[in-house]
Amino acid sequence: MSELVTVDIGGTNARFAIASQAEDGTITMDEPVTLQTEDHASFQTAWEDYRARKGGSLPDAVAMAIAGPVGGEVIRFTNNPWIIRPALVEPKLGVSRFTIVNDFEAVAHAVARAGDDEFLHLTGPEGPLGATGRLSVLGPGTGLGVAHLYREADGTYRVSATEGGHIDFAPLDPIEDAILARLRKRHNRVSTERVVAGPAIVDIYATLAALEGRAVKEQDDVTIWTAGMDGSDSLAAAAIDRFCLSLGSVAGDIALAQGGFSGVVIAGGVGYRLRDHLPNSGFAERFRAKGRFETLMAGIPVKLITHPQPGLFGAAAAFFQSHGD
C-alpha cells in the first residue's frame, strides 16, 4: 500500500489528509484537517502546523491541488498571497516525490475515480455519466474552477486544467445587466468568476436590493449565504436563486466551449453547499437555454459530485496516476 500527504489549497482554506492506495487501486483517506490560509504566513508554516498535529512525522510524498495556474518556477495563488517554488518542495517539506496540479484538475481526477453513487443528478438524462468522451467539470468556491476530463474506451483517462472561470460574463436578462453594471464600476473586465463564486453573492444581493429601492447594510458573503440558505432573509434567498441561474448559464457555456457532451459535473465548496437547492432552482432551464442548441444541451447528463473532499481525493489520484503507484 502506497501512502502520501494530499493537500488542497484554496483561497480560504488549506486541507490536509493522509491518502493510501491499495493494490486494487482503491484510494482511501483519513479525516482531513482544515487550516485557514490567513492564519499562516506561508504554505511552509501551514505544513509544519499539520505535521505537528500528526505527531511530528509524515509520509515522504505529497500531492498538492492548488487554486491557480501551476506552471513556472514560482506558483502564485489566485485568491491568497502564498507562493510555492516547485524546485524547493522536496528539501523544504522533507519529501522524495511530489505532484502539483491545478485544484480543478484534481477535481476532474476525482470525477474519473468516484463511483456512480457519489453523484447527485441535476438535469439531463438519468443514469451515469458517459463512460467515454469529454466531460466538463466546474464549480464555485472562493473562485470558479474549470477543467475537463476525457475518458478513453479502454478505461484510461486524461485531465486538462483550464482557467475557464475567467472568461467574460454574459448577462441574459435585465437583472444580470444590473449586476454587470455594478461590477463594471470596479472592474474594467468582468469575468464569470465575479458572478459565479462564493464572494459574488455580495454584489448579487446588493444589486437586488438596489432594484427594489431597499437600503440594506453591507454584509459579508458568509452572512448572506447563511441567511439565504436558512430562509431568514428573503432577499438573500432571492440572491441565491439568482446565483443558481447564472451558474446554470455558465455551466452550459463551458460544456459548449469544451465539447463536454458526455456529461457536466458541478463541484466546488459552494456547489456542494447548494446540492439540495440546485435541483429545485432555475439551474436546469438556464443550462439548456442555448438557442439552436437547446436539444443538444437537454441530452447532456449534469451531476453534482457529492464526495466531501474531491480536491484531496483527486490530488492523490493524480499523484498515483503520474507516479504509477
Does a structural domain hold residue 129? no
What is the model's pLDDT at position 159?
94
Joined together, the cell numbers standing for residue 120 give: 447527485
**264-266 and 133-140 as β-strands: parallel, antiparallel, unpaired?**
parallel
Element (H, E) at 90: helix 89-93
- The CA distance from 115 to 121, in Å, is 13
For the residues 79-91, what does the mean pLDDT come to? 91
Binding site membership: which residues?
7-12
- Over 70: is that where the pLDDT of 128 sits? yes
Do 291 and 318 fall into the same domain? no
Cα gap 310→193, rounded to integer Å: 20
Q: Are residues 281 and 317 in the same domain?
A: no
Question: Looking at residue 189, what is its pLDDT?
Answer: 96
Do 200 and 273 lie in one domain? The reply is yes
CATH number for 255:
3.40.367.20
DSSP bridge pairs for 66: 9, 102
Together in a domain, 51 and 177: no
- Whether 159 is covered by a domain: the verdict is no
pLDDT at 1 over 60: no
Question: Do 314 and 271 sit in the same domain of this protein?
Answer: no
Judgement on whether residues 194 and 240 belong to the same structural domain of the protein: yes
pLDDT of residue 2: 86
472561470: which residue's cell? Answer: 165
Q: How confident is the model at residue 312 (pLDDT cuts 50, 70, 90)?
A: very high
pLDDT (average), residues 274-296: 96
What span, in angstroms and rounded, lies between the C-alpha atoms of 248 and 253? 9
The mean predicted confidence, pLDDT, of the chain is: 94
Same domain? For 288 and 174 the reply is yes
pTM, 2 dp: 0.89
Average pLDDT (56-74) is 91
Residues 316 and 184 in one domain: no
Binding residues for ATP: 7-12
Percentage of the chain surpassing pLDDT 70? 99
Domain housing 25: 2-103+308-323
Q: Is 41 inside a domain boundary?
A: yes
In a domain, 263, yes or no: yes
Considering the domain architecture, whether residues 314 and 297 belong to the same structural domain is answered as: no
Indicate whether 183 and 288 sit together in one domain.
yes
| Cell numbers placing 202 | 455580495
38 with 99, same domain: the answer is yes
Average pLDDT over every residue of 131-143: 93
Q: Is 124 domain-assigned?
A: no
- Mean pLDDT in residue range 1-20: 91
Same domain, 267 and 312: no
* Of residues 308 and 199, more confidently modeled: 199
Number of domains in the chain: 2
Mean pLDDT of 236-262: 97
Q: Are 304 and 275 in contact (CB under 8 A)?
A: yes
Q: For residue range 154-195, what is the model confidence (pLDDT) as tens digits?
A: 989 999 988 899 999 999 999 999 999 999 999 999 999 999
**In degrees to the nearest 10, what's the CA dihedral of 242, 289, 142, 200?**
-30
CATH number at residue 43: 3.30.420.40
Q: What is the pLDDT of residues 140-159, one digit of tens each?
A: 988 899 999 999 999 899 99
Q: What is the pLDDT of residue 68?
A: 79
Q: Has residue 142 been placed in a domain?
A: no
Q: 325 pLDDT exceeds 70?
A: no
